[in-house]
Amino acid sequence: GAVVSQHPSRVICKSGTSVKIECRSLDFQATTMFWYRQFPKKSLMLMATSNEGSKATYEQGVEKDKFLINHASLTLSTLTVTSAHPEDSSFYICSARFGTRNTGELFFGEGSRLTVL
Amino acid sequence: AQSVAQPEDQVNVAEGNPLTVKCTYSVSGNPYLFWYVQYPNRGLQFLLKYITGDNLVKGSYGFEAEFNKSQTSFHLKKPSALVSDSALYFCAVRDHLGGFKTIFGAGTRLFVKA
């Protein structure tokens, strides 16, 4: 299947700093990528839809200035957590849609665990 | 709006026994339904999907799922569970009219005891 690489897998930062997480589709072009946040009680929350060459679409309640998403190429989307605070500590997972049809499954990165001290 | 419910927080089965992980959904149009599995500290892996056609779909690792339109359900099943099946399972739905956005259920933790 298609491969999605996410980096870094773990990051620890101080409160107030910014952290960038990269999501790459390694063997296919992804015009659309999705960013999810997974909370300790398992649930996966869709944060935003990242579209190549255009602005990301954020879900209700997600601060766009807090979570900056850039999809500069067909294989790379980045999520930057700006001015991170301890409540931003979480597991962030990106995914990419394979193919152009709406019927395609998502392929996920391995996730990035962010810990804000 | 789309939604997915996984009513069981955890499912416990003995190795060799059949397993079922339940999922119900709500969408305004025809649903596209998916099952994913997640191992600790990893991303999600695709298991199977229902788009159209036969209500019984077969997927990876011996898993299958049955689409039931009248009950709006898409339960995941396996005839004989393995200890290695222990993981977190997510049901997901996409509305065929709603673009590519995929909504996930809360997840069900499957524990298979040897």
pLDDT beyond 70 at B91: yes
Mean pLDDT of B75-93: 96
Which residues, numbered 65 to 104 in chain B, qualify as contacts with chain A under a Cβ-Cβ cut-off of 8 Å? 88, 90, 94, 96, 99-104
d(CA A105, CA A16): 36
Q: B35, B46, B57, B61: which to substitute to probe chain A, counting the most A Cβ within 10 Å?
A: B46
Assess contact for A6 and A113: CB atoms under 8 A.
Answer: no
| Least CB–CB distance from A49: residue in B42, B101, B104 | B101
Q: What confidence score (pLDDT) does residue B98 get?
A: 61
Partners of residue A49 in chain B, C-beta under 8 Å: 100-101
Partners of residue B21 in chain A, C-beta under 8 Å: none
Q: What confidence score (pLDDT) does residue B94 get?
A: 86
d(CA A62, CA A59): 6
Q: Are B43 and A109 in contact (CB < 8 Å)?
A: yes
pLDDT beyond 90 at A43: no
d(CA B66, CA B91): 12
Mean pLDDT of A19-27: 93
User: Higher model confidence: residue B1 or residue B24?
Assistant: B24
The alpha carbon torsion through B89, A111, A109, A39 (nearest 10 deg) reads 40
Residues contacting A116, CB < 8 A, separation 6+: A12, A13, A14, A15, A84, A85, A86, A87, A88, A89
User: Higher model confidence: residue A105 or residue B8?
Assistant: B8
